[in-house]
Amino acid sequence: MQCAELVSYLSDYIDNNLSEELTREAQEHLATCQNCHIVLDSTQRTILLYRQRGQRAGLSPRRHESLFNQLAETLASRPAEPNCE
């Protein structure tokens, strides 16, 4: 699994909505890619902070797409780690 692919599955990965095969591939990638591990950790911490504040309103589809695109662009612009495709 490549970084961009992991990012596209990140929400489903966090929500445990991936097939066993994709979950395994994501876990293998996360074990060797520090950048993606940081993205996952940051996303999970953001979700936790959001829930702790009692916020219930979701992001608008436009804002969600914008944040996702920013994340994908940032990840794509970073140099790949040796074990990262």
Q: For residue range 41-71, what is the model confidence (pLDDT) as tens digits?
A: 999 988 888 777 765 566 778 888 888 888 8
Whole-structure pTM over 0.95, yes or no?
A: no
Between 64 and 7, residue with greater pLDDT: 7
Q: What is the pLDDT of residue 84?
A: 59
Classify 33 as helix, strand or coil.
coil
Positive/negative CA dihedral, 22, 26, 27, 32 = positive
Domain ranges of the chain: 3-77
Q: What is the CA radius of gyration of the chain?
A: 13
pLDDT-derived band at 33, boundaries 50, 70, 90? very high
One DSSP character per residue, 48-70 reads: HHHHHTT--PPPPHHHHHHHHHH
d(CA 34, CA 84): 9
